[in-house]
Amino acid sequence: MRLAEDLGLRVGTLDLDEALPAPPPGDPHELDVVRVMHPPAERWPDLVRAGFTLKPGWVTWLRGTPQSDEAYLGELSVSERRAFRKALRYGADAAVRMEVHHPITERAYDDFLRLYVDAIARMRRGHNYAESLRDPILAAPGTSIAVIAYVEGRQAGACVCQLQQNGSTVYLRYIVTEPEARRAGLSRLLHLRIFEVARELRRDLVSLGSDPTLYGHFCEPGLFRFKRGMGFVPVPSHAFMPGNGWNEAELVLSLDRLPDPSFSLCYDLSREAVPVPWCQDGVTAPPLRGDVLSAKSEVDVRPFQADFLTDVRSKVLRP
C-alpha cells in the first residue's frame, strides 16, 4: 500500500492483488480512504465483494447551451428560478457590469487571479491551481475567455473559461466572487453571461467544470447540489475528454477529515452500461448512483437525489 496525504486526506493506494480477496485492515484513525486505480472491468465484481465502490475518478458537468435566459430559467425548479430572479434584481440595483475578454488578456487573468487567491485563503482545503495555469493559458489566448464582474465600479467577481478542442464546448474552469456578492447572487449572473457568450460563439455545450467524485474532500457536498440545481448533468470525465480522468475502486474508512455527510458519486453496477450523453458515438458506461456517507444511522438522502442518478443510498461509517 502506498500512503499519501492529499489536501489533508490520508489516502492509501493499493495494487489489485493487495485489494483482493479483501483489502488489508486499515486503522480508520490513521487512514481515511483506500483506492485501487484503473481496475480492469472484469475484476469489478470482485472489488465490490471486497467492499469497494466502483466509480469514475472525476466527472465533468455538462448541458446544452440554453437558447435564451428565459428558456433556461423555465427549465429550473421554482426555488432556483426564485434565486435567479433575486440575482437579476441585485444586478440591476447594484449596477453590475460585465467585461468579456476574448481572447483572454494578461490583465484580465491577473484581475481574476487576485480574487481567486483571496477566495482560496478562505477555503478549508483550498489550493491555488490557477496560478500554475497562468502561463499555459496566456500562451494560447484565443482558446480562453475571462469575464470580469464589477459591482458599483469595483471588481467583485470573475471567471475563466476555455474553448474545448472538440470545438463545441465552453468549459468553465474557474469562477470566483467576493463573499457578499456571492450571497447576493453574483455567481448566477456570471453563469448567465457565460451562456450568452456560448450563444454568441455558437457553441453547443456549456460545462461547469470537472470535480473529483468524493464530495467533501476537494469539493464540498454543496457543490454537487448547486450544479444539479443549475440544470447540469455529470458524466465520467474520461468519457467526455479521453485522457482526462479514470476509473477507480474506492473504500472510505473514516469521516475524521471529511464533513458529515459527505457524498460519493459511483457507478450503478446493477444496471447495463448506457451511452454517455454528449460523448463520442459508442462510448458507454454504467449509469451513476450516489452514496451519502455519514456516521449517523439515519441521514436524509433527499438533498442529493437527482433525475440523472438511478439511486441514492445512505452508507453508515462508524467512528
Grid cell digits, residue 115: 480574487
The predicted structure's pLDDT at residue 23: 85
CA distance 215 to 226: 12
Grid cell digits, residue 264: 460519493
Look at residue 121 and tell me whether its pLDDT is greater than 70: yes
CA distances in angstroms from 154 to 98, 111, 150, 174, 185, listed in the order given: 11, 11, 5, 19, 16
* Stretch 70-90: mean pLDDT: 97
The predicted structure's pLDDT at residue 306: 98
The predicted structure's pLDDT at residue 43: 97
The predicted structure's pLDDT at residue 120: 85
Look at residue 17 and tell me whether its pLDDT is greater than 70: yes
Look at residue 127 and tell me whether its pLDDT is greater than 80: no
The predicted structure's pLDDT at residue 40: 97
Residue 4 burial (C-beta neighbours within 10 Å; 0-12, 13-18, 19+): exposed
What is this structure's pTM?
0.94
Give residue limits of the domains in the chain.
Answer: 2-59+232-316, 66-203
CA distance 243 to 186: 34
Residue 146 burial (C-beta neighbours within 10 Å; 0-12, 13-18, 19+): buried
The predicted structure's pLDDT at residue 249: 98
Look at residue 123 and tell me whether its pLDDT is greater than 90: no
Model pLDDT for residues 50-72, shown as the tens digit of each residue: 999 999 999 999 999 999 999 99
The predicted structure's pLDDT at residue 55: 99
- Cβ atoms 56, 49 nearer than 8 A: no
Grid cell digits, residue 18: 493487495
CATH number of 66-203: 3.40.630.30
Look at residue 122 and tell me whether its pLDDT is greater than 90: no
Query: CA 293, 234, 14, 125 torsion: positive or negative?
Result: negative
Look at residue 276 and tell me whether its pLDDT is greater than 90: yes
* Stretch 88-107: mean pLDDT: 96
* Numbers of helices and strands, H then E, in the chain: 11, 18
Look at residue 174 and tell me whether its pLDDT is greater than 80: yes
Look at residue 235 and tell me whether its pLDDT is greater than 70: yes
Confidence tier at 257 by pLDDT (50, 70, 90): very high
Model pLDDT for residues 153-171, shown as the tens digit of each residue: 899 999 999 998 667 999 9
* Stretch 77-95: mean pLDDT: 96
- Cβ atoms 138, 110 nearer than 8 A: no
Look at residue 106 and tell me whether its pLDDT is greater than 90: yes
- Tell me what percent of the residues of the chain surpass a pLDDT of 70: 98
The predicted structure's pLDDT at residue 128: 80
The predicted structure's pLDDT at residue 165: 61
Higher pLDDT, 120 or 206: 206
- Cβ atoms 228, 78 nearer than 8 A: no
Task: Rounding to the nearest 10 degrees, give the CA dihedral for residues 51, 56, 61, 63.
Answer: -100
* Stretch 114-136: mean pLDDT: 85
The predicted structure's pLDDT at residue 105: 96
CA distance 257 to 123: 14
Average pLDDT value over all residues in the chain: 94
